[in-house]
Amino acid sequence: MKALLIAATALALAGPALACGGTAEYPQTAQTLAQSSLTPERKAELEKKLQEGWAMHSESHEQGDGAKMGQSMQTLRQLQVQIQIPEN
């Protein structure tokens, strides 16, 4: 359910940010996490971090903050490693 909420938010906010890889990768990562075989506790921990990263990513688009964008993408990459998603 959380993955669907993140994906819906991503689509609603995407607009001019469609060229940004994180706009697509955050929802994809949420979906992969939801389907993973991780323990419920670990999933919950990673979902929380994913939501925080997505919020930071969205703020970076709204504020035009490149440093925050970089930090949000670093967070995403770290989560993808923990979920074992190969880098694009």
Provide mean pLDDT across the span 21-45.
93
- For residue 30, being part of any structural domain is answered with yes
Provide mean pLDDT across the span 47-68.
95
Three-state DSSP state, 1: coil
> Residue 80 — pLDDT band, cuts 50, 70, 90?
very high
What pTM, to 2 d.p., does this model score? 0.73
Q: Are 71 and 54 in contact (CB under 8 A)?
A: no
- Mean of pLDDT over the chain: 85
- For residue 19, being part of any structural domain is answered with no
Question: Residue 45's domain spans which residues?
Answer: 2-13+25-83
* More confident site: 66 or 88: 66
CA distance 5 to 54: 11
Q: Are 83 and 46 in contact (CB under 8 A)?
A: yes
Provide mean pLDDT across the span 50-63.
96
CA distance 29 to 2: 12
CA distance 4 to 60: 22
Query: How many distinct structural domains can be found in the chain?
Result: 1
- For residue 18, being part of any structural domain is answered with no
* More confident site: 64 or 84: 64
pLDDT of residue 36: 93
